[in-house]
Amino acid sequence: VFPRDLKPENILLNEDMHIQITDFGTAKVLSADSRQARANSFVGTAQYVSPELLTEKSACKSSDLWALGCIIYQLVAGLPPFRAGNEYLIFQKIIKLEYDFPEKFFPKAKDLVEKLLVLDATNRLGCEEMGGYGPLRAHPFFESIVWENLHLQTPPKLTAYLPAMSEDDEDCYGNYDNLLSQFGCMQVSSSASSHSLSAAETSTPQTSGGNIEQYIHDLDNNSFELDLQFSEDEKRLLLAKQAGGNPWHQFVENNLILKMGPVDKRKGLFARRRQLLLTEGPHLYYVDPVNKVLKGEIPWSLELRPEAKNFKTFFVHTPNRTYYLMDPSGNAHKWCKKIHEVWRHRYHQNATK
């Protein structure tokens, strides 16, 4: 069987963290003695389609090796190798083998990808003409893999990892388990903290003429954060001021912005500039600052954990994903401090009511 539509979306992990391939709706079943048999139907997803499918209108077993090369590239770099504004342009890049490697791409992975992304299907590492799967398994990229009884082995624990992008950066590893225990201690002790929002709720509300500017700390034109000890009346004034003059208000569903600023949202070896908006609720929105489009939201839960790795780099861990962020101003610890402050208010307050 060759699936003919291998892509990350069709690769799942079961409860034992072993890979399972799904979606065999486009698969082709071959007899044991078939050699590079070809199927003439056009199937597959644009970024992973093999060049022979585009030029000869047929796919073969080696077409899955091409898809494997694309997947390995994406696992390392964070994006597929062939990218463009539409499918036609993607296909043109595939036919011409137009792709490049970002800096810091692992050398062994690069060598393997180059041996899989070969225009001639009979020259791809792992195909029958190149000796079959034996030479593919023997590639240095897989040197730590013990292939015998692989499906019975316990996979290594996954940890958050942020590869360096330049010589001045460093690789960063997250430690989510340690953070869980640390936050457990913080939740117990947070009732004694003078930085909790509970101070605002127990204080006497000030009049609507209160000086709300005292809570706003401008960092630059697109960055600021709020002190959190404001009353309900002051909150209404702050929200009115935000609605009347903050261009990012349109993205936060009328929630008060508690901290905002530009960050580089990393995905593998690629990064995109985003405006990060921490609001009451709580919410963490991120917006494309050029096209002014809301790109997504980091989901809040009791298990959410911020983790600063250095001055610029910080992680936001959630149960299903770790978000990799870089603060170009070098104040990653301030983001983590504010996120933790809001987390503590949201979950400690509810737990003590």
Written as six digits, the tokens of 207 are 């009049």
Written as six digits, the tokens of 242 are 């935000």
Active site (annotated) includes residue 227: no
Beta carbons within 10 angstroms of residue 82's beta carbon = 23
- What is residue 15's DSSP assignment? T
342 phi and psi, to 5 degrees? -70, -40
* H runs (alpha helix) in the chain: 51-55, 61-77, 87-96, 107-116, 133-137, 176-189, 198-202, 232-245, 332-352
**Which member of 5, 16, 168, 171 is catalytic?**
5
- Length of the chain, in residues: 353
Written as six digits, the tokens of 221 are 């034109």
**CA separation for the pair 89, 176 (Å, rounded):** 40
List Cα–Cα distances, 207 to 73, 184, 197, 235, in angstroms: 59, 37, 19, 11
**CA separation for the pair 72, 178 (Å, rounded):** 30
First to last CA, the chain: 58
Beta carbons within 10 angstroms of residue 114's beta carbon = 13
Q: Is the bond preceding 282 in cis, omega lying within 30 degrees of 0? A: yes
Beta carbons within 10 angstroms of residue 237's beta carbon = 18
Closest Cα partner for 161 from 76, 80, 73?
A: 76
Instruction: Report the relative pairing of strands 293-298 and 321-326 from DSSP bridges.
Output: unpaired
Q: Which residues are catalytic?
A: 5
